[in-house]
Chain A
Amino acid sequence: MSEETPWQQVLRHENRANPYPFYAELRKTPVARQPNGTYVVSTYREVVSLLHDNRVSSDPTKRPGTAPGADPAEPGTETITAADLEPSIIDSDPPEHDRNRSTMLRHFYGPPQSPHQISDLDPEIRRIVAGLLDNMKGKTRIDVVDDFAYPLPVTVICKVLGVPLEDEPRFHAWIRDALESFDLGPEPTSEEIQREVADGHRAVQEFGEYITELLDQYAEQPGPGMLSAMVHDDGPEGRMSQGTLVTNAVLLLFAGHETTVNLIAHSVLTLLRHPEALEKLRRRPELIVPGVEELLRFESSVQFWHTRSALDDIEIAGTTIPKGAPIFLLYGAANRDPQRFTDPDEVDLERPDNQHLGYSQGIHFCFGAPLARLEVQAAVGEFVRRVRNPRLVEDPPPYRRNQIFRGPRQVPVDIDGITD
C-alpha cells in the first residue's frame, strides 16, 4: 500500500482532533488531485474563487459515477439528506436552489415577512443560556457538550421551526446514527461500520418520515413556526413540492443546531486552551462579537463540503480540474491559510479583516448564520462571565467520527462554581 496523502490522513478518525498539520501539508498543493480523482482545494484564495465560480455545481447528481448509492466502494458518499430524498438547497444549483432558498428565507429573517424573527429570539436565547448555567450550580464537573452546547440550539431550532421539543430524543438518535454512518475515512469497512451505515440509512429514512408526518399535520392545522409557514406559503415562487419541503425541513432541523453545538463546544475548548484570550474576553465582554467570528475561523463547524463538482474544465492555481471531477472545498484549511491570515494558528479576538469561511461564501452562504451568531455570542459570553475557573479534564477530548460536521463528543471540564 502506498503512503497516504495528507488528505487521506485528514480523513482518519485518529486525526480528527487536530487535522491542522495535514491541512498545512495540503496547502502546499492548493488544488490537490487525490488517487480517487477527487480534487481537494485547501487555500483561501482558491476556495473563495471556486465558491463564486458558476461552473461549479453543488448538485451531487451532476457528478458522473458518484450519484447517491452509485459507488459501493465509497460508503457514505451520500449526504444525510440525500438518501432517498429530493435534493435540499445545499445539494442543488440555481434556479431550483434560488427559488427554494428564497421561499424559505422569507420565513426565517427575510423582510418584509419576518425581519425581526431572529433578533426577537434574543431574550429567549439568553433565558435558556442562564437556565443551563443555573443548572450547573453545585457541580464540580460538567460536560460542555451535553450540559451546555447541545440543549440551547436544539431548543431554539425547535421553536423557530415549530418542531415539538418533546420529540427531541427521537430525532437526536436519528441524527446521531446518520452522522456516525457518514464517514469518508480510509478505515477498513468492517462489519461494524457496515452496520453503522445501515443504521444511518434507516435513521435518515425514519427522520424523513417523521418530518413528513409533521408537515402533514401542519397542512391540516396551521401552527407556529417556519415549517407551517412554508407548508402554507403562496409566495412569488409558488409552493414548494412536498418532497422538497421534507428534505429542506430535515436540513433545517439538522443543520440548524448540529453545527451550533460544535461551534459552542469548540469555542469553549479553544478558550480553555488559550487562557490569555479567555482572560481578555472576561475583561472586555464587548469582544464577544469579533471573538465569535475568530472562533469560527479557528475551528469551523463545517470543515469542508463534499457535493461540489466541475461542470466544465476549470483552470485554477496552475491545475485544470476536469469536467465531472468531484471538488472538496476545505473551509477548515482555508481559514488557517497564512497567505490570508497573519499567524493563523493564533487566536486573536480582535483580528482585523476577518473574512473567514466559517459560514462559507457565495450562494450557499450559511442560511442560519444570523441565528447561530446570536446563540453562540450569548452562550460563550455567559459561559466566560459565569463559570468560575474552568479547567479542561482531557485534552484533546474524544471526537465524533464525522469529518464534515467535526466536533467533540464530550468536553469534560472541572469548575469551581457558577457566579450569578
Chain B
Amino acid sequence: MTMAAPIAELVRDYKANARIVIVGASLAGLRAAETLRAEGFTGSLTIIGDEPYEPYDRPPLSKQVLKGWVPADHTELPRLRHVDADWRLGVAATGLDRDTKHVRLANGDQVPYDRVLIATGTRARQWPNPTEAALEGVFALRTRDHAARLQQALAARPSRVLVIGAGFVGSEVASVCRELDLPVTVAERGPAPLVGPLGGVIGEIAAEMQRDHGVDLRCGVGVSSLEGDASGHVRRAQLSDDTTIEADMVLAALGSIRNVEWLEGSGLAAGIWGVGCDAGGRAFDINGVVTDSVFVAGDVARAPHVLYEYEFLAMEHWDNAVLGAEVTAHNMVNLEPHYYPHLLLPGFWSGQFGVNIKSVGVPPFGDEIAFVQGSVKDRRFAAAYGHRGRIVAAVTFNQGKWLPHYAGLIERSAPFPPPPSGWDQPDDLKPIPAEFPEHGVPTAIPDVVLTGHDPSERRAEFRPRRR
C-alpha cells in the first residue's frame, strides 16, 4: 500500500526532526531505542533511567549472579546497534506534563518531547514494616545492586536463610541456597509454590521439588514479624501459625509494584494495574481514549490480548519487554495504517532445583490442566491448560523444546485437551482442575470517578487514596 504523499512527507519529516523521550533504561527502553534507530529515526533521543547503570539483564540476577558465577556488574545487555542517545542515568522521572509535553526529572530538569515512551517497569515490593525491613540481613531482589548485596550475604554463609514468598524469584533463590548448601526455609501464604502463575497442580510438583532438595517449605503461612538482635541484624521470624524461624538472612520475595506514581496528575489510565494502552502500545488517557503522543512498553504496559478475550494483560516477561518495545517503537515513528500490533504469545522460563521450567500462553487464563507428555515423576513433562474447550497455555519441565508445538496449538486456538503425543504419553491424560486461586479483590485501588454531563464536559477523574 502506498502512503498518500503528504502523509509520507509528514512521517519522513518526523523521523528526521522529532524529539523522542524514553522513560526507563532497562530492557524495554533499550530495545525501543535501538528499534527507533533501526526504523530510520534520526531525531533527538533521550533515555531516562533512575538507576546509575547502563541497561542490564535481570534473569541472571536470581541465578548465575547469586551463585557467584557472574558478577552483578557483568550483566549489561548486549547492544544490537548504536542508539546515539542522550542518556540521563541516575535520575528519576517525577512527572509527565502532557499539556506542555515535558517529562519532569527529580533534579528539576524538564525534557521536552514530541512523543514519549513509558517503560518504567516494576520494582520489588518491600517488606511492609519499615523498621523490620531496615534490619541488617533483610533483602529484596530486583536490581543489580540488590543482587550484588544478596550474593555477598550468601557468600558469607548465613546459618539459615528465610525466603518469604515462593513465586519465581523466591523459588529460584531457595534453589541457589541449596546449591550453595545453605539451610533455607521458604514461607508461602498460598498452598504451594508458583500457584499464582501455574496453578495448584503444578504448584504441588514444585513443592515436592523443593522438599526433595532439602528446602524447609512452609505453605499456608505468612510471616507476621521479623526480629533483630541488639546490633540490628535480623535473627528470627514469627510465622502466622505461631512458630518461630531462626534465620540470620531474609529475602522478601513479595512480587512487584508497577512504577506509575510519577504519572500521577498526567491524566493517563495509570494505576496499580499498570498503564493501560492499546495493542499497539498507545497509552489510554484516564477516560479510556487513546493518546497520540504517549506510548507504553514492557512490564508496566497493560494491553488487551486478542487470544485472551481481549482481556487487558500486563506481562512481566522478558520477551514481552523485547517485542513490546519493538512494536511500540515502530508505531512511535509511523502512522495508521502502518501500525504494528503487539500480539505476543507470552512466555517465561525459570531455572530451579535442576529443572528448566518454561511456559507459553497465559496459564492463569485456563481452568483445567492435562499432562500431555513425559513423566511427572521424572520431572520431565509437558502440561496443557484449557479454557472452555480450547488450549490457552502450556508449561514444560525439562521439555522446553516442545514449547513451539504448544505455541502453535495455542495460536490456532486448538481444542483442549490437545491431540495426544505419538509417544512418551503420561499414564493419565485426563484433564483435571488447574487450581488457580480465586481472583481476589485488590486492595487500595485508586478511585476513578465520573463527573460532568455534556459530552464536552463528561470526564473521568483520578482520586488516589491517601497512602
Contact = CB atoms under 8 A, between A and B. Distances in A.
B405 interface: yes
Interface in A125-140: none
A362 B419 CA distance: 18
B404 interface: yes
Interface stretch (A49-57, A160-168, A249-257, A274-282): A49-57
B401 A57 contact: no
Contact of A53 (B374, B401, B405): B405
Nearest to A51: B404
Interface of B: 354, 373-375, 378, 380, 398-399, 401-402, 404-405, 408, 419, 421-424
Contacts of A94: 373-374, 423-424
Interface residues of A, number: 20
A365 B401 contact: yes
A199 interface: no
Contacts of A52: 402, 404-405, 408
Contact of B419 (A95, A312, A361): A312
B422 A311 contact: yes
A140 B402 CA distance: 51
Contact of B422 (A236, A312, A361): A312
A370 B422 CA distance: 30
6 contacts: A52-B405, A52-B408, A54-B424, A95-B423, A311-B422, A362-B405
Given A94-B424, A98-B374, A362-B404, 19 more contacts: A49-B408, A52-B404, A54-B405, A55-B419, A56-B422, A57-B422, A93-B422, A93-B423, A93-B424, A94-B423, A95-B374, A95-B375, A95-B423, A98-B380, A311-B422, A312-B422, A361-B404, A363-B401, A365-B401
Contacts, number: 52
Interface string A80-101: 0000000000000111001000
Interface string A374-397: 000000000000000000000000
A53, A94, A312, A365 interface centre (most CB from chain B within 10 Å): A94
Chain A binding surface, main DSSP class: loop
Contacts of A48: 404
Contact of A55 (B380, B401, B422): B422
A32 B190 CA distance: 53
Contacts of A365: 401
A54 B421 contact: yes
A315 to B, nearest CB: 10
A35 B88 CA distance: 67
B107 to A, nearest CB: 39
A365 B404 CA distance: 13
Contacts of A363: 401-402
Contacts of A53: 405
Interface string A153-184: 00000000000000000000000000000000
A56 B327 CA distance: 35
B423 A57 contact: yes
Nearest to A313: B419
A365 B403 CA distance: 14
A275 to B, nearest CB: 28
A401 B375 CA distance: 42
Nearest to B400: A363
Contacts of A93: 422-424
A59 B354 CA distance: 28
A93 B378 CA distance: 16
